[in-house]
């Protein structure tokens, strides 16, 4: 059993606050980019949700700074970290879990739309996310009036919260991966729709453009990386708490958890501006999701990227040559 010291209590809390501040700065930069460039086609409700998430992220940063100041400055002369009560610790846990709950709701809604409202997929996914939110908020409420040492008496609540957090993040990531994989397989059939006659000379242009399956492959990577990042942080909190329950190392990692999730969500929203350039036609994602058996047609692109080919049939022999 690891013994609580100044280094693994006050020191780890200070390090966690520092990294939380770094992630908060990244989130503010991404918020600026989102509202200036990335939200053009988003609904009013999504913009409101993103704004609320930023307010919650700011509130969590204020509480984290206040909490670290309370323990490292106001009570710097007292090494008895475990017996000092402070309601801000519970507020941090509650706000962080509520923030994660809203972020997961946004991802679940994305799965809902991309899966054409598949209830068989959404129902278990929603149940896992609601369970994680319920245990997390309950743990936050308990921490409002608990000291650090007393929190060990309901450690099962933290174990359950972190386990369901990890499961829900992996579930969301896997669901998005499967949906994008389905669209990726359909986009691989992206081809020019031309029929070559056998008795006359025909000229046409093939317009070169990044294929649709490249876009789907990129989206698959984003969905996997997002789920791995969030679940890895939750798993790290779980492991450090199980091995060092008397220290606050797990709390220093937990301070970064909601901010990493918020940054991951903003990164996915902001990257759409660049990914739109890879879409061969507007609304391709929606068409692929709603019509899995459709044929993808290669549309014209920029004139400077065109190549001309000539097909001709002479004496029954067909040739294809660069014009």
Predicted TM-score (pTM) of the model is 0.76
Report CA-CA distances (Å) from 67 to 102, 247, 269: 24, 16, 31
What is the structure's pLDDT at 295? 46
What is the structure's pLDDT at 87? 83
What is the structure's pLDDT at 127? 95
What is the structure's pLDDT at 89? 86
Q: What is the mean pLDDT of each run of 10 residues along the chain (323 residues)?
A: 73 91 95 83 90 96 91 68 71 94 93 88 94 94 81 87 92 87 66 42 37 67 80 92 86 92 90 66 51 47 44 46 44
What is the structure's pLDDT at 290? 53
What is the structure's pLDDT at 260? 93
Where do the domains of the chain lie, and which CATH numbers do they carry? Answer: 6-191+212-297 (1.20.1070)
What is the structure's pLDDT at 78? 60
What is the structure's pLDDT at 191? 46
């Amino acid at each position: 059993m690891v013994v609580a010291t100044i280094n693994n209590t006050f020191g780890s809390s200070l390090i966690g606050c520092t990294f939380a501040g770094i992630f908060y700065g990244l989130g503010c930069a991404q918020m600026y980019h989102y509202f200036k460039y990335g939200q053009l086609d988003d609904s009013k409700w999504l913009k409101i949700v993103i704004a609320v998430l930023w307010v919650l992220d700011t509130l969590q940063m204020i509480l984290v700074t206040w909490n670290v100041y309370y323990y490292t400055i106001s009570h710097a002369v007292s090494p008895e970290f475990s017996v000092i009560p402070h309601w801000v610790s519970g507020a941090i846990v509650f706000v962080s879990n509520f923030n994660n709950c809203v972020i997961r709701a946004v991802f679940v809604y994305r799965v809902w739309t991309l899966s054409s409202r598949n209830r068989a997929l959404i129902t278990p996914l929603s149940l896992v996310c609601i369970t994680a939110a319920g245990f997390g908020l309950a743990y936050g409420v308990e921490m409002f009036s608990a000291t650090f040492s007393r929190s060990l008496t309901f450690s099962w609540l933290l174990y359950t919260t972190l386990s369901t957090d990890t499961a829900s993040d992996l579930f969301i990531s896997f669901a998005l991966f499967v949906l994008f994989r389905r669209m990726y397989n359909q986009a691989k059939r992206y081809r020019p729709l031309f029929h070559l006659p056998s008795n006359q000379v025909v000229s046409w242009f093939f317009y070169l453009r990044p294929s649709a399956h490249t876009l789907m492959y990129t989206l698959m990577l984003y969905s996997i990386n997002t789920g791995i990042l969030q679940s890895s942080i939750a798993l790290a909190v779980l492991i450090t708490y199980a091995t060092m329950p008397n220290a606050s190392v797990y709390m220093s990692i937990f301070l970064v958890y909601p901010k990493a999730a918020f940054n991951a969500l903003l990164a996915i929203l902001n990257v759409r501006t660049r990914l739109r350039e890879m879409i061969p036609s507007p609304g391709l994602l929606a068409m692929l999701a709603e019509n899995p058996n459709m044929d993808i047609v290669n549309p014209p692109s920029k004139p400077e990227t065109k190549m001309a080919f000539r097909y001709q049939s002479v004496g029954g022999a067909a040739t294809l040559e660069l014009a």
